[in-house]
Amino acid sequence: MSESAPVSSITTSGRVVRAALIIFPFGTIILGIASFGFWWVKRVQVEERSYSYATALRRDMSLTAMERYVSIFHEVLQLPESERLTSVASFAESSMSSDNMGYEPRRDRFFSGSQEVSNVDAEMAGSQRLREVRLILVLYGDQARSKAESQALGGLMSLANAMAGRRAEDTLRFAAVPMGVKDPSGRTALERFAFGMANRGERLMSVTLLGGAGEQVLSDVALAFRTAQTGAIVQNLPETQDLAATLAAMVALKKNFEGGSQ
């Protein structure tokens, strides 16, 4: 009798272990599904609050508002080289922030030599096709074109503010990317930006360049985003040199993007 107890104990323990081995994976799966469900509900709630907040901060485009953006960018683009690119990125990020426009800007900082520079973008995520992106892009950093670049950057900010909270089926993204700089791996800022999109599994549907890009820039854009392979459409808007022309161009662009927006 004394020897049967350990055998019974071992048998019982074995059954418990076997049961645990069977039940535990199912429990883990169920817990994982539940966790994903909680995460998804929370994400939707956060996004809805963000859209509501952005809608409240939406502002129609006007010459007065655009003049402010353009004048600030014009002053910043006259700064010494060591300050110019960083200051443009900082002001773009601040302008599109949750406090000012309701966006959550993404600032990708990296070093070009000893200088810290950044790619900055902000978006309204698509309601149906989250990974399909329509990009409105300003490439800046050519001092010979500082007037046209300040108009383009000011137009970008005004358009972003006027589109805040307008959700379409796909993602609408606004971006400011510096030219003439490379990250430690040797990629240009534009190539780095395009690599980030590809790494996130995004599909670029179209890119609208503001400020009038030259042939070399258009070639760089085509190579960086692999438009020949992906079929992404590139629209090159002519540069504008005054506020009235910039406002008219942004109003027309806004109408194009409003199709399907909420």
Tell whether 93 and 171 lie within a shared domain. yes
Per-residue pLDDT for 90 more than 60? Answer: yes
How many domains is the chain partitioned into structurally?
2
> Which of residues 19 and 80 earns the better pLDDT score?
80
- Could you tell me the two tokens for 217? 């820039």
In a domain, 116, yes or no: yes
Reported confidence tier of residue 133, pLDDT bands at 50, 70, 90: very high
Encode pLDDT of 222-243 as tens digits: 999 999 999 999 999 999 999 9
pLDDT bin (cut points 50, 70, 90) of residue 125 is confident
In a domain? residue 212: yes
The answer, yes or no, to whether residue 251 has pLDDT greater than 70, is yes
Per-residue pLDDT band at 217 (split at 50, 70, 90)? very high
pLDDT at 119 over 90: yes
State the pLDDT at residue 74.
Answer: 96
| Contact assessment for residue 53 and residue 104, using Cβ atoms and an 8 Å cutoff | no
Q: Mean pLDDT, the chain, as a whole number? A: 85
Domain shared by 152 and 121, yes or no: yes
Full residue range of the structural domain in which residue 116 is found: 61-257
Q: How many helices (H) and strands (E) does the chain have?
A: 8, 6
Q: What tens digit of pLDDT does each residue of 189-211 get?
A: 999 999 999 999 999 999 999 99
Contacts of 17 (CB under 8 A, 6+ apart): none
Q: What percent of the chain has pLDDT over 90?
A: 66
CATH number at residue 122: 3.40.630.10
Highest mean pLDDT among 6-10, 102-106, 254-258: 102-106
pTM: 0.79
Give CA–CA dist 239/225, Å, rounded.
22
- Shared-domain flag, residues 114 and 53: no
Same domain, 29 and 75: no
Q: Judge if 36 and 77 occupy the same domain.
A: no
Q: What Rg, from alpha-carbon coordinates, does the chain have?
A: 25
pLDDT of amino acid 168: 80
| pLDDT, tens only, 13-50 | 566 556 555 665 555 555 455 554 554 444 444 454 45
Q: Is 94 in the same domain as 5?
A: no
Dihedral, 247, 250, 251, 254 alpha carbons, nearest 10: -160
pLDDT of residue 36: 47
Residues 230, 159 share a domain: yes
Of 57, 76, 102, which one is at a domain's C-terminal end? 57
Is residue 247 situated within a structural domain?
yes
Please tell me whether residues 216 and 233 are part of one structural domain: yes
Instruction: Establish if 262 belongs to a structural domain.
Output: no
Q: Are residues 134 and 197 in the same domain?
A: yes
Say if residue 43 is in the same domain as residue 69.
no
